Amino acid sequence: MVSEAIFDAINRLLSSHIIESKLLNENELYAEVAQSTLKDDCIKIYKNIDCVLIDIFGNDTSEIDNNIIVYYTFAVRSSNTLITIYVKLDKSCSMRIDSITREIPAASLYEREIQDMFGVVFNDILDNRELVHHGNFPLNIHPLKKDFKVNTRLDFEKRELEFASISGSGVFEVAVGPVHAGIIEPGHFRFSVAGEPIINIEAKLYYVHRGLEKLSENENYMKVLLISERISGDETFTNSLSYSQAIEKLNGITYLPIRALYSRVIFSELERICSHIGDLSGLCVDTAYVFAAGQFAMMRRWIQLLCEQLTGSRFLRNANKPGGLRRDFIRNNDKIILECLNKLDKEFKETVAIIKNNGMFIDRVEHTGILSNSIAVDLNAVGPGGRASGIKADVRKDFPYAAYSNLKFNVPEHNNCDVNCRMNVRIEEVIESISIIKQALEKMPEEGPIAVDVGNLKPYSYAFGMTEAPRGENIHFVMTGENNTILRYKVRTPSFCNWPALCYAVKANTLTDFPLINKSFNLSYAGNDL
């Protein structure tokens, strides 16, 4: 439950500004404020309550009241509470609100996203460039407005994209992408370099923008489950879990079968192990350490094979659904899971010992790509990237879900802020994950149902679903429409938060270290672009 202290604090800070306030889903606090006081209210909350800005998003509620609502969500990590300030903008009047980027830097990307997708204009915005749209997108078209049809075929325009350029003698620009040299996703980077060191980097993403949020609108909630599984291939389970949790919450399902909760823990952790080992393999590839890369790739395949044996999918697809799991995948399989984990545990520790004793490898990763704590806090860096810079945040601890509150585990803490640190966070997390799965298998009841029926969805209700993805804090907002459809599905994956952090971390490093630093954050382009 929300502590009295937070209630009091919000009432004291916003007092007369609050038009309407309500508490939903046990820990979500919503307060409506006026357009004119919005900026002050957000800043008051940010400065006076120990919280972080985790999401800003729009929602076109034409079906209900001809408004566009903009939500500002703050997370109080110390007391399991989400504070959401929202403002209703009348579509027929001017849709202008004040930008808060100068006071809360993490808001920058969200504001640009809302400008592109909803046409809400932010006064005094720091960076007015388009974020989602590219030069080919017609001006003044805003896809997430309800009057825009999802299958509209738009014309291709030609506009030049703006990039911040740095000039001076000996300063050159290097353009990379969107088609890269390796087998990775598309993104365009402009490096301004003085010889080898990078002065500035500009990233233009959204090449794999598939219009996923728009595609989810007015679709049955079970189809949206499949879309959520396909946000980012290697985060399939955690995304579908966030979505399922949001649906369960908004429909008032508070107790799931215990077997379902533990199964969800097991699959989430398998995915985390798989992702982290893949990253370690990537780091070794980028330092041309082929032996270790092969070792980690081999271990990753063990886990993928285990996932396939359990669920029939190497990426844990078709496993989750609102209300529990699609089938009881763990039954009679305890033994193969334990066997695989024991094998992995031994091999992993031995390989880690080898790479940590390799001076040439450590030389590459140490003191490379430093993301200082103050910048990480300002940009709300999440996941291993944040934890390596001294941000102690983990959704599994702060906002416990599934069965995590019954399990013992440590969240690794590091303060050196470099690639080595992020690598160590991952290594420690893999070992913790193995122990979590073993505990979960032990504590799981032998028999019992695996899912409950969700029933019909309550129309026009909403909730947040939060999970700790392998890459960090993952937040999904779901609002339902009528007849079991989804009205608004907002996805904020950890990659969205960490891209600006990455751009800071590469500055002053050499161009050749960029792939290494990029890999140490391991951000998903698909998860960012949606």
Residues engaged in binding other proteins (CB under 8 A) = 134, 136-137, 143, 148-154, 156, 178-179, 181-186, 206-212, 214-215, 222-223, 226-227, 230-234, 236, 278, 291, 294-295, 297-298, 300-301, 304, 308-309, 312-315, 317-318, 326, 350-351, 353-354, 357, 524-526
The identity of residue 113, as a single letter, is E
Q: According to DSSP H, which parts of 167-220 are helical?
A: 212-216
CB 198 to other proteins: min, Å: 21
**Residue number, 232 or 368, with CB nearest to other proteins:** 232
Minimal distance, residue 149 CB to other proteins, in Å: 8
Our CB check for other proteins shows the closer of 355 and 393 to be 355
Question: Closest approach of Cβ 441 to other proteins, in Å?
Answer: 20
8 A C-beta contact, residue 135 and residue 204: no
| C-alpha–C-alpha distance, residues 431 and 488, integer Å | 38
Looking at residue 327, what DSSP letter applies?
Answer: S
Is the Cβ–Cβ distance between 196 and 171 less than 8 Å? Answer: no
Euclidean distance between CA atoms 320 and 242, whole angstroms: 10
The residue (of 316 and 402) whose beta carbon lies closer to other proteins is 316
In a 10 Å sphere around its CB, with 0-12 CB exposed, 13-18 middle and 19+ buried, how is residue 146 labelled?
middle
Q: Give me the least distance between CB of 226 and other proteins, in Å please.
A: 5
The residue (of 85 and 310) whose beta carbon lies closer to other proteins is: 310
Q: How far is CA 303 from the centre of its chain?
A: 23
Name the residue nearer to other proteins (CB basis): 175 or 194. Answer: 175
The least CB distance from residue 427 to other proteins, in Å, is 17
If you compute the radius of gyration of the chain from its CA atoms, what whole number of angstroms results?
23
Nearest to 421 by CA among 376, 370, 377, 350: 370
Ramachandran quadrant class, 25 (left: phi over 0; alpha: psi -120 to 50; beta: rest): left
Q: Is the peptide bond before 105 cis (omega within 30 degrees of 0)?
A: no
Give the shortest CB-208-to-other proteins separation in angstroms: 5
CA 273 and chain centroid, separation: 17
Nearest to 490 by CA among 481, 479, 482: 479
Taking 3-state DSSP, the helix, strand and coil percentages for the chain, each rounded to the nearest 5, stand at: 45, 20, 40
CA atoms within 13 A on the CB side of 435: 10
Q: How far is the CB of 321 from other proteins (least distance, A)?
A: 9
CB 270 within 8 A of CB 306: yes
User: Least Å distance between CB 426 and other proteins?
Assistant: 17
Cβ proximity to other proteins: between 91 and 317 the closer is 317
Closer residue to other proteins in complex, CB, 191/462: 191
Judged by beta carbon, residue 231 or residue 280, the one nearer other proteins is: 231
Query: Count of CB atoms within 10 A of residue 26's CB?
Result: 12
Helix boundaries (H) for 444-493:
none
Token pair in block for residue 426? 């991952």
Helix (H) or strand (E) holding 79: none
Using the minimum distance from each CB to other proteins, give the nearer residue, 254 or 357: 357
Q: How many CB atoms lie within 10 A of CB 403?
A: 22
Residue 4 or 155 with smaller CB distance to other proteins: 155
Minimum CB distance to other proteins, residue 406 (Å): 30
Of 90, 91, 107, 93, nearest to 39 by C-alpha is 107
Per DSSP bridges, beta strands 96-98 and 171-176 are unpaired
Burial (CB < 10 A; 0-12, 13-18, 19+), residue 276, is: buried
In the bound state with other proteins, the residue whose beta carbon lies nearer, of 212 and 417, is 212
Measured from the CB atom, the residue of 212 and 393 that comes closer to other proteins is: 212
Q: How far is the CB of 396 from other proteins (least distance, A)?
A: 24
Min separation Cβ 434 and other proteins, Å: 20
Question: Closest approach of Cβ 122 to other proteins, in Å?
Answer: 23
Can you list the alpha helix ranges (DSSP code H) found in 318-459?
334-356, 359-365, 373-378, 383-387, 395-398, 419-443
